[in-house]
Amino acid sequence: MSTNKKVAVVTGGNRGLGLEASRQLAKQGYQLILTSRDETKGNSAAIKLQNEGLDVISQPLDVTSDESSQKLAEFINKEFGKLDVLVNNAGIYIDAQVGGNSIFDAKIDTLKQTLETNVYGVMRVTQALVPLMKKQNYGRIVNVSSGMGQLHDMGGGSPAYRISKTALNAVTRIFASELQGTNILVNSVCPGWVKTDMGGANAPRTLEQGVDTIVWLATLDDSDATGGFFRDRQPIDW
Ligand SMILES: NC(=O)c1ccc[n+]([C@@H]2O[C@H](COP(=O)([O-])OP(=O)(O)OC[C@H]3O[C@@H](n4cnc5c(N)ncnc54)[C@H](OP(=O)(O)O)[C@@H]3O)[C@@H](O)[C@H]2O)c1
């Protein structure tokens, strides 16, 4: 299955922003590996994009599992021998569901569960896949964060989600710093408030608007930004 195309992985690609980012990157000519923790959902999402004429395959990936992350790395190494783009999109927002929307009511377990996906998941998958970028000294890593993680105007409510996105931004900075001097660029993005299962029906942004900056960061030129936080293609405060 070798390819001359650039190879991109999107986590949580079966719906929402992940599915749209997969579509837009594939439209730009990337060989897309759409990953999903539920294999059946991943397969049907990939078939949907294939039916639009796009070069998309699906692979299972649960970002909370070391084994699953390693298996994905082995698959990519065997099939393509390299990776060009990683969009760390998979995320959960469960504060309200578990009745702890105030920090005074929040359960530590909610925080642990949220960090496991939104922070450790990104670290785990990035650790597993960066060797495939180092091999060719090229890589673009996009961490899908949120304005809710900005310290600059941190508000109340949703503590687990907010803390996870602040921590994710630190993860972005640390990876970027340790990859200085390579052509592997690592950035965080806030997609804005987007109509998805997570964002809800009242969100003002469409999926296309939501993924615009994700795709832009995934396709940066050499020597472009690294270690930054962006919304609408502009740097924003941490
Ligand atoms: N929508 C917004 O307004 C908004 C704003 C700011 C930031 N964001 C961020 O954007 C990203 C995507 O959000 P969305 O709105 O598209 O959310 P969504 O519709 O709820 O989709 C979340 C995706 O993440 C996947 N996922 C969750 N846990 C996973 C795991 N352990 N392993 C692999 N995949 C997992 C889900 O898979 P399943 O289908 O199996 O559950 C789903 O594909 C998230 O990181 C979110 O925090 C969204």
Closest CA to 144 of 54, 224, 215: 215
Distance CA 120, CA 78 (A): 25
215, part of any domain: yes
194, part of any domain: yes
Task: Tally the domains of the chain.
Answer: 1
Which residues form the pocket of ligand 1, taking CB atoms under 6 Å from any ligand atom?
A: 11-12, 14-18, 37-38, 41, 61-64, 89-93, 117, 121, 144, 146, 190-191, 193-194, 196-199, 203
How deeply is 88 buried, as exposed, middle or buried, from its count of CB atoms within 10 A (0-12, 13-18, 19+)? buried
First to last CA, the chain: 41
Distance CA 121, CA 111 (A): 14
The range of the structural domain enclosing residue 131 comes to: 7-235
1, part of any domain: no
Cβ atoms of 57 and 9 closer than 8 Å: no
**Strands 229-231 and 234-235, sheet pairing:** antiparallel
User: What pTM does this model have?
Assistant: 0.98
**Local confidence pLDDT in tens for the 238 residues of the chain:** 778 999 999 999 999 999 999 999 999 999 999 999 999 999 999 999 999 999 999 999 999 999 999 999 999 999 999 999 999 999 999 998 887 799 999 999 999 999 999 999 999 999 999 999 999 999 999 999 999 999 999 999 999 999 999 999 999 999 999 999 999 999 999 999 999 999 999 999 999 999 999 999 999 999 999 999 999 999 999 9
- Among this protein's residues, is 138 annotated catalytic? no
Give 19 Cα–ligand 1 centroid separation in angstroms.
Answer: 10
